[in-house]
Structure formats: C-alpha cells, structure tokens
A = this chain, B = another copy of it.
Amino acid sequence: MAEKPVDRRVRKTRAVLRQGLVRLMAEKSIQDITVTELCAACDVNRGTFYLHYTDVFELLHSVEDELLAEFERVLDSLTPHTVFSGETPSPAMCRMLELLADNADLCRVLLCQNGDMAFVERVKGVVRRRVLDEWAAQFFERGAHAAVYHYAYEFVVSGCIGMLQYWMERDMPLSAREMAAMMESFIARGVTGL
C-alpha cells in the first residue's frame, strides 16, 4: 500500500473537471455534454482531459466513486448496535441523510431527473451488502418464505430512495431527522399505519 502523493496540478485539474461536470449536469443531461464543451466551461485544455479520463462517463464514474466511498465510510462508522438500537429515528439513518444534505447538488444530479440509473443500483448494492444478512436472519425468525426478504429489501430501499428524490427535488424542505423518522415509520408499519 504505497502512499503515492499526487501532484498538486493533477489534483487541481481533476477537481476543476469534477465540479465543472456537476455544474453542467445541473443544466443538461449527461449524454449532451461533450468533452469539448466541458473543457471550455472549465478552461482546461481538451488534451489534458484525456490525460485523466477516456470520456465524460469515466469522469462521471469517478465522481460517483468519490461520493460512494464517503457513503461507505459513514456506514462503516456505524456499529450494529448503533443501527439496531431502539432509538427513533436511528442515528444511522440520520447520518446518511445528513451526508445527502451536505452533498445536495451532486446527489440531486445523480439521483433525480436525468440521473444515472446504474449509480442508483450501486447505492442499493452498497446498502444491500451491509443490511441484507441481518435482515435475512430477522425474517427467518418469523418463518417467512426465503425469497420474500429479497423483495422486501428492494421495496424498502427503493422506497427510501424515491422519498429522497422527492425531498431533494424540492430543495429539502424537511430536516434530515424528520425524513429519517418518516422513512423508518414506513419501513416498519407501511403507509396505512400512520
């Protein structure tokens, strides 16, 4: 694990391109963004772009990777006890929502209208790997059919992401804590149990 220090110029160029992409994505769909256009908007030479990325999509993925890594760090900082404590809303859910709020512009662009479906799948996958086994155990205790908890998981995760999209598209009118509480309520009792 050699810590390779990255040249300051490289860091700067990549940062400029990343934030330039996010800025453009707020205006237009990713497939309409050309390398030429992005470089002009960022005042970076087009050739320089190709020193770092093969195309706009690879750049997008690097942006996604960065956010996803931060997301995973939050998940890793949560002990199982933190997650399954009786507290409502759970600190785990709250911290994840705060992360979204702190990266609102980027998350909106990736998760909402004209977002990246593949990225949404990746997010689901990250959560799945950490939650599903725990879930499975709880379901089996209740004697539920084996396949059911997979569908239950998809329902819950997709449902939460849908709520987040609605929330972000309206510039987050509720606090992270309020959102977390609502989500956990829906997960546990469905929507008729209000």
Interface residues of A (CB under 8 A from B): 30-31, 57, 112-118, 120-121, 124, 139, 142, 144, 147-148, 150-163, 165-167, 173-174, 182-183, 186-194
Contacts and interface: CB of A to CB of B under 8 A. Distances in A.
Contact of A162 (B30, B154, B192): B154
A161 B124 CA distance: 13
Contacts of A147: 173-174
The binding surface of chain A is classed by DSSP as helix
Contacts of A144: 194
A135 to B, nearest CB: 9
Top 9 A-B pairs, shortest CB-CB distance = A158-B162, A159-B159, A190-B190, A155-B159, A152-B191, A31-B31, A154-B166, A154-B162, A189-B190
Contacts of A148: 182, 194
Contact of A188 (B57, B159, B166, B190): B190
B187 A142 contact: no
Given A151-B167, A152-B186, A155-B159, 17 more contacts: A31-B31, A113-B117, A113-B118, A113-B121, A115-B117, A116-B117, A117-B117, A117-B120, A124-B162, A152-B194, A154-B163, A154-B166, A155-B163, A155-B183, A158-B161, A187-B191, A188-B191
Contact of A182 (B151, B163, B192): B151
| Residue from A142, A157, A159, A188 with most neighbouring chain B CB atoms (10 Å) | A159
